[in-house]
Chains A and B, each alone.
Chain A
Amino acid sequence: MLRYTLKRLLSLLISLAIASVVIFAVIEIAPGDPASFMLGLNAQPDTVAALRAELGLDVPKSERYFNWIGGMMTGDFGMSYTYRTPVAEMITDRIWVSLPLALYALTLSTLIAFPVGIYAASRRGQAGDMAVMGATQLGIAVPNFWFAMMLVLIFAINLRWFSAGGFVGWDKGLLPALKSLTLPAIALALPQSAILARVMRSSLLDILSEDFMRTARAKGLTRRQTLFRHGLRNALIPVLTIIGMQFAFLLAGGIIIEQVFFLPGLGRLIFQAISSRDLIVVESVVMLLVFLVIMVNFVVDLAYAAVDPRLRSRT
């Protein structure tokens, strides 16, 4: 298990190194001068020159790469050109919205998907299964912003249980903060849970036809015991894969939901940065997202090994 963890850790570091080089190369080395790109077509030459100096574009590229990486490791992400504030500060503000929102949505989606998937699998082909399959089909087909609007209409405008948008901030206390994230988290979670429930169902159905499930029944276990003691853990591997991918999506892909609920999240930040051609922000946020996604994959890899002993010994 230790060797497996170390190997995964090594591959994590290599992925990070490669990703950082690629992001740096695409944004900084790609044709065109970042400074003139950021300032647009009508920029004065001396403004461009000033920006070049400010961005440190006059030093060699390799040095700039290491400055960038070194800066990020010490928490210095550079200055946003548009907002004239340190990028680190902007990201810190946003990530305290995006990360909890993603985790919240993922938790909801898992809490919905597991029982639903297990229920459908245990009633394969029966009415309950059909209902689940139909509902999840709908959940996948309907875009999450539609759910978002419906949730706002029902729970914010009609029932007035929640506010229609905005984030109160963590300094107002845990519960109010979570409350303001609840509607967006549900909107994000519904389509994800529909996908996850289907994966859970089909993965369990595959396991249900395995020989060892029959062995378990022959030992005298009831259908239910067989499902929970022998089926579930074996069915988890594909489910974990999807959970890992969904987390990555939820982190950055929530941009429309962030717009609908006026949440100051990473998705909005990166969208604004791209629109205003603020390459420093784009570069840093993308790197941060890559870092988070790779970390999540690392955790998923460890979870695989925790679930399946065969992976542990294969190193």
Chain B
Amino acid sequence: MTLLSVENLSLSIGSLPILRDVTFSIEPGEIVAITGESGSGKSMTAFSVMQLLPESATTQGAIHLNGRNLLTLPEADLCAMRGNDVGMVFQEPMTALNPVKTIGDQVAETILIHSTATQAEAQSQAATMLARVGLPQDRFPLSRYPHELSGGQRQRVVIAMAIARRPRLLIADEPTTALDVTTQARILDLLKDLVNEFDMGLLMITHDLAVVADMAHRIIVMRHGEIVEQGDTQTLLATMSHSYTKALFEASSHQVDLPEPSEGHIPILSVENATRDYPLPRTGLFAPRQHARAVNAVSFDIHHGERLGLVGESGCGKSTLTRAILGLEPLQSGTITAFGVEVSPSMPAAQRVKTQVVFQDPYGSFNPRHRVARILSEPFYLAPDAPKGEALTETIATVLTDVGLAPSDATKYIHEFSGGQRQRIAIARALITKPELIIFDEAVSALDVSIRAQILDLIADLSRRHNLAYLFISHDLSVVRTVTDRVLVMQSGEIVEQGDTDAVFTNPQHPYTRSLIAAAPVLPDLKELSDAPA
């Protein structure tokens, strides 16, 4: 019998239509992935199945789980269903757990509310479940609090909570998006094993097509609240009958046309034995202060016009290194020299003009009360000979045009722009002082694939026109591979491998680089797929 069947589901929140005529089904033991860009309605589809929708939501159609239509069930029955028949895993493991309750209590709670188990029985079942998801009691006792666990470990707790009652259906909403690649690979393996072991259906929501292709038996592609295409993974990838599916896959494996690196090796930035320590809280009142070494004796150069990549997992020291290069934090030893002058927090402001930065979050990195013109002219506070009046307006118009926006956008506020446009504004802000080096700190990580492809093209184009050098920091190996000439691999504060990007990716020498590359999900080669008999 079909486990879950969604029939002609339409959903609107208030008067805003969110989903239109969504129809799909899941069999026991089957992994179905819904993919699409932000705003496609994929998460809302998942929440519809859980019936955890905002109060102003109205639904039409039917959602049958084990033959019962969830849309007509009273709330009490839905509560009995959630967690018992359907479990759910969320995107953000850092916030999905209650910070003031132990992991044991939180897993046991699922068991307690759906069964007649005693507290002790529930705790022992919780211990079994936690061990099953890879958190054995000897190392992760039930008395642990969420803040004592890493992101990957917390996601395991969330999974244990979701599967504690061995539900027939598990819904995972971007379960690995917030995790590092190696952790992601392990969590995905765990989910696959659980599906087999419990004969569960798994509805997986993800924007990452490489993950989809790797995991799912069937794929559903959504856009603007509608399903544009669905089918068996192999067949769908081979045929891609809908142009949007094709566009989505092409954008995901987008290769930019990077200009040849300029010859002549003039280093513009040299980092020599840079070491950065953070003080840890004292362990005792009079105990000596301990230090954590975030960046350990790192050395590298960036040459004029060179595109350098920096990859590594969270906590490896990428961001600390960035702040040191920008002269925002002091080094404990070693030196960083940019354009022949030593970088330090106390350096004169005018020295900061030639190195600029673009951050990850296009929503959080602007003052919402400033107009674009003011945001863009802000870096001129650094420049002694900043343009004023007419000249300033002209400069702003030029950089806006440079990044593919209109000069008239200068008078708008930041909330009038989409995420991709905001990231263009961030790039314009970095470009306005005519820097020779830009640091892109996860600058495309928060963007949808099609927007990401456009921004990557823009970066390549700007580097061609302005002969820019950049340091491109990312956890996404496929992106680094296409936009850089040379790459550094960082682990625990140290550079463990560096070399030409192609050489490092095709023939990694260091075991850590190898594990990173192995863990990264890859898109199947579309050409191969379509040539092979379906």
Contact = CB atoms under 8 A, between A and B. Distances in A.
A27 B13 CA distance: 65
Nearest to B88: A218
B50 interface: yes
Given A218-B87, A218-B88, A225 B113 contact: yes
A217 B158 CA distance: 13
B97 A212 contact: yes
A288 to B, nearest CB: 29
Contact of B82 (A220, A234, A310, A314): A220
Given A218-B83, A219-B161, A220-B84, A234 B98 contact: yes
A109 B87 CA distance: 41
A219 B83 contact: yes
Nearest to A215: B96
Contacts of B515: none
A214 interface: yes
A233 to B, nearest CB: 5
Contact of A214 (B52, B75, B113, B114): B52
Nearest to B83: A220
Contacts of A210: 95
B172 to A, nearest CB: 11
Contacts of A219: 82-83, 109-110, 113, 161-162
A54 interface: no
B120 interface: no
Which residue, B76, B100, B148, has most C-beta atoms of chain A within 10 A? B100
Interface residues of B, number: 34
Contacts of B148: 313
Given A211-B90, A225-B113, A220 B80 contact: yes
Given A218-B52, A218-B87, A219-B82, A212 B95 contact: yes
A217 B55 CA distance: 14
Given A215-B158, A309-B145, A310-B147, A220 B100 contact: no
Interface string A146-188: 0000000000000000000000000000000000000000000
Nearest to B102: A309
Contacts of B113: 219-221, 225
Contacts of A218: 50, 52, 82-83, 87-88, 90, 162
B136 interface: no
Nearest to B80: A220
Given A214-B90, A230-B101, A310 B145 contact: yes
Interface in B370-415: none
A205 interface: no
A99 interface: no
A225 B90 CA distance: 20
Contacts of B96: 211-212, 214-215
Contacts of B345: none
Interface string B140-181: 000001011000000000100110000000000000000000
Contact of B100 (A7, A211, A217, A308): A308
A216 interface: yes
Contacts of A47: none
Given A220-B82, A315-B281, A308 B90 contact: no
Nearest to A10: B285
Given A212-B97, A234-B98, A310-B145, A217 B110 contact: no
B99 interface: yes
Given A220-B84, A221-B79, A215 B97 contact: yes
A222 B52 contact: no
- The listed residue with most B CB atoms (<10 A of its CB), out of A210, A215, A218, A308, is A218
A217 B52 contact: yes
A307 interface: yes
Nearest to A233: B100
Contacts of B99: 212, 234, 308-310
B81 interface: yes
B457 interface: no
**B96, B145, B148 pick with most chain A CB within 10 angstroms:** B96
Contacts of B83: 218-221
Which of the listed residues A10, A220, A230, A234 has the most CB atoms from chain B within 10 Å of its own CB?
A220
B92 interface: yes
A211 B75 CA distance: 21
B2 to A, nearest CB: 22
Given A211-B90, A314-B281, A220 B79 contact: yes
Given A211-B90, A309-B147, A310-B147, A217 B82 contact: yes
Contacts of A217: 52, 82
A235 to B, nearest CB: 10
A45 B64 CA distance: 98
Contact of A211 (B95, B110, B145, B285): B95
A7 B282 CA distance: 12
B79 A222 contact: yes
Name, among B81, B82, B284, the residue most crowded by chain A CB atoms within 10 Å (CB to CB): B82
Which residue, of B84, B110, B114, B281, has the highest number of chain A Cβ atoms within 10 A?
B110
Nearest to A237: B100
Nearest to A236: B100
Contacts of B76: 222
A10 B285 CA distance: 10
A210 B94 CA distance: 11
Interface in A197-237: 210-212, 214-222, 225, 229-230, 233-234
Nearest to A307: B100
A220 B52 CA distance: 10
A215 to B, nearest CB: 5
Contacts of B90: 211, 214-215, 218
Nearest to A219: B83
Interface string B278-318: 00010011000000000000000000000000000000000
Nearest to B92: A211
A9 to B, nearest CB: 11
A220 B87 CA distance: 9
Interface in A237-268: none
Nearest to A230: B98
A219 B114 CA distance: 9
B133 to A, nearest CB: 15
A220 B147 CA distance: 24
Given A230-B98, A233-B100, A220 B81 contact: yes
A7 to B, nearest CB: 8
Interface in A286-315: 307-310, 313-315
A309 B97 CA distance: 13
Nearest to A213: B98
Nearest to A314: B281
Contacts of B158: 215
B144 to A, nearest CB: 10
A216 B52 CA distance: 11
Contacts of B75: 222
Nearest to A234: B100
Residue among A219, A234, A313 with the highest chain B CB neighbour number at 10 A = A219
A6 B80 CA distance: 46
A210 B146 CA distance: 15
Contacts of A216: 98, 109
Given A219-B109, A220-B110, A222-B79, A313 B100 contact: no
7 contacts: A7-B285, A215-B90, A308-B99, A309-B100, A310-B99, A310-B145, A310-B147
Interface of B: 50, 52, 75-76, 79-84, 87-88, 90, 92, 95-101, 109-110, 113-114, 145, 147-148, 158, 161-162, 281, 284-285
Given A216-B109, A220-B80, 12 more contacts: A214-B96, A217-B82, A218-B162, A219-B161, A220-B84, A220-B113, A222-B76, A230-B98, A308-B100, A309-B145, A313-B145, A314-B281
